Amino acid sequence: MIAVSSPAFSAMEFARALDLIAGEFEAWEVVAEGLHDLRSIERPFLDLTPSYDLEYSAHAPMSDINIGSLNPRMREAAMRELLSALGSCHRLGMDVLTVHPAFMTPLGFVDPGRVRDTTRAGLRRLDASSRELGVKVALENMPSSPFSTAKTPGTLLELIEGTELGVCLDVGHAHTNGNLKEFVKLKGSIVNLHVHDNKGAVDEHLPVGDGTIDFPWLLRAMSGYRGRHVVESRGLEDALVSRDRLKALLDG
């Protein structure tokens, strides 16, 4: 199943975005910020979505969210946002919530071990709530950047070890780190797949086929994957290009 996700939709009124997406896609991963903060759209979501044939999941808030912050007040605020999003997913019938790991701060660079341990503690809180609410949480791998964490399979698995959290494989992020083939080996733990392209250096979020990712190989390697293929795009036009190219590869 091909889904779509873009922060661009979160700048639209919910009803307009819903109508646009339902006309083109089978599923929508709602980016839960901007005008689509899940708390603020619960009522229109419950009122409007029964009229559309779509499946729904969510991407947790990203802006200003850092569950590995070494400032305890900022870290707790971030955790409240993620736990709130998880509760909304439960009430709205969304089955997967994708979350980002920590990002590095000036203090974090001084003590990266504390960032790792703090992130693990926050993920364990999410894991407990996830199991209670019946919403799967997927931790996403991050692109090449000095400020990113969970850029390799090993560091991502270290963060979710001992939990029931799944993996969201972002193929574009992995491509910037040159380790997409290594990430695909985690197929048994992958519950969500973010699909976009780049040329191997920068996280460009290009349409499928406009970069250098070998998508025919990727889809063969991911044979048996039963989750959604979530097209992440900069807007609807790019998303439609990716959808058509991805569908042709999947059908072929």
- Long-range CB contacts for residues 155-164, cutoff 8 Å, separation at least 24: 156/101, 156/186, 157/186, 157/189, 158/116, 158/120, 159/101, 159/116, 159/119, 159/120, 159/123, 160/123, 160/127, 161/120, 162/124, 163/123, 163/124, 163/127, 164/127, 164/130, 164/131
pLDDT, one tens digit per residue, over 111-135 is 999 999 999 999 999 999 999 999 9
- pLDDT (tens digit per residue) in 137-193: 999 999 999 999 999 999 999 999 999 999 999 999 999 999 999 999 999 999 999
pLDDT of amino acid 252: 82
How many Cα atoms within 13 Å fall on the side-chain side of residue 59? 28
Dist. CA 249–CA 244, nearest whole Å: 9
Q: Hey, where are the domains in the chain?
A: 2-251
Q: How far is CA 204 from CA 13, 175, 234, in A?
A: 26, 11, 9
Give the separation between CA 43 and CA 88, rounded to whole angstroms.
11
* Each residue's pLDDT tens digit, 20-40: 999 999 999 999 999 999 999
Tell me the helices (H) and strands (E) count for the chain, helix number first.
10, 8
Question: In the numeric block, which tokens belong to residue 2?
Answer: 């091909």
Per-chain mean pLDDT for the chain: 97
Strands (E), the chain: 2-5, 27-31, 55-59, 96-99, 136-140, 166-170, 190-195, 229-232
Spatial contact of 89 and 135, defined as CB atoms under 8 Å apart: yes
Which whole-number Å values give the CA distances from 186 to 25, 64, 149, 230, in the listed order? 27, 29, 17, 18
CB neighbour list of residue 247: distance below 8 Å, 6 or more residues apart: 2
Topology given in CATH for the domain delimited by 2-251: TIM Barrel (3.20.20)
Angle between helices 72-92 and 38-48 (to 10 degrees): 10
pTM given for the model:
0.96
Residue 97's SS3 state is strand
